[in-house]
Amino acid sequence: LNRVKAHKNSIMLRLRRVLYSESDVQKFQASNPYNVNYTGLYGTQQGGMSKESLLCSLKQRLPFIKTLRKEDVPFKENLSKSLFEDHMLGSGKRYQKCAIVSNAGSLINSKSGYFIDDHDLVLRFNHAPTDGYVEDVGMKTDIRIVNSKVASNPKFEFLSSPRFRNVTILVWDPCSYSSSLKEWLASPEHPFLEPFMKHRKLYPKNKSYILDPRQLWTLYDYLQAHTPVRLRPNPPSSGLLGLALLLPHCNVVNMIEFVPSVRLTQRCHYFEPFMDEHCTFGVWHPLAAEKFLMINMNSASDIKTYQNGYVSIQGFNTLKC
């Protein structure tokens, strides 16, 4: 227990240092590639609000995550309308327990596989493999959130790898803070539209969606409204997007190794030897603020959070907002 408490303190200290590191914030704000122009209030996250209020406030801003609709997409092909519904998971669909598996290196030796696979719905990110890592990360995969770099760079095999088949896919690409869909579609950050459409043609039965990118900035505004210091002006990470996607559909969402457990490592990903602690504590995405938010929404004990490696967040339907 002492080891867990000491680890918790060191993680909180680390996150706080990143959040408040002024030189970083100035550096990031000097370049503002997405033209972020936040005019709302800054929050008082630390101890300021109960988990229920934080979640109710998110529910109010983002009752569900919107994906592009058929009329939004500039394609002439005859696309199945059902794949462009407002609610990618179906508006009334409910699950008891959902898991979101981060790609963090700290999953190594976690032996979380059984725990993860025991959930009713499991969400993973990008090209994260399960083969060869089942003991630590499980194998059940219902949804993959895929960034536009992974969808467009052939090295990630979006069109050929079985990882991207028989699984609901949500592809995302950031737009500028105030840009319209039309402006964004004319010049997305990565050229994902063509591979996305190819994927649709190759696997017409696969459920594949594109995020309405303005949702990222709604999520960013929410995060800023609950963070006491200015955030770096970049979109939130796909981890926070996954949480916002699942909260309307799950009674509880367990987020695995987002708040780093005692297995914290310098490795960026559990499936690659590449070392970079910024993947965990954040430099580009406002990761430290996201992790504070998750800690403030968490109902799991310290042992579960820092030893077992997950935070538990109550779904919208369980709240009296």
Query: Strand order of the sheet with strand 208-210?
Result: 208-210, 168-172, 143-147, 121-125, 95-101, 250-256, 310-314
Residue nearest to ligand C5P (CB): 239
Closest approach, Cβ 46 to ligand C5P, in A, equals 20
Out of 112, 237, 254, 296, point to the residue binding ligand C5P (CB under 6 A).
237
Out of 235, 239, 248, 309, point to the residue binding ligand C5P (CB under 6 A).
239
User: Three-class SS string for 138-161?
Assistant: CCCCCEEEEEHHHHHCHHHCCCCC
Separation CA 135–CA 180 (nearest Å): 44
Out of 110, 238, 261, 314, point to the residue binding ligand C5P (CB under 6 A).
238
Out of 45, 67, 102, 234, point to the residue binding ligand C5P (CB under 6 A).
102
Measured from the CB atom, is 209 or 258 closer to ligand C5P? 258
Positive or negative, the Cα torsion across 30, 35, 40, 43? negative
> Is residue 136 classed as helix, strand or coil in its secondary structure?
helix
Contact letters for ligand C5P, residues 262-301 (x by CB under 6 A): ------x----------xx---------------------
Q: How far is CA 164 from the centre of its chain?
A: 17
Q: Where are the alpha helices (DSSP H) in 233-286?
A: 238-246, 278-281
Q: Which part of the chain contacts ligand C5P (CB under 6 A), choosing from 13-21, 59-67, 78-86, 236-244?
A: 236-244
Our finding on whether 169 is near ligand C5P (CB under 6 A) is: no
Measured from the CB atom, is 15 or 210 closer to ligand C5P? 15
Out of 103, 130, 296, 308, point to the residue binding ligand C5P (CB under 6 A).
103
Separation CA 74–CA 70 (nearest Å): 9
User: What residues line the site for ligand C5P (CB under 6 A)?
Assistant: 102-105, 125-126, 237-239, 258, 268, 279-280
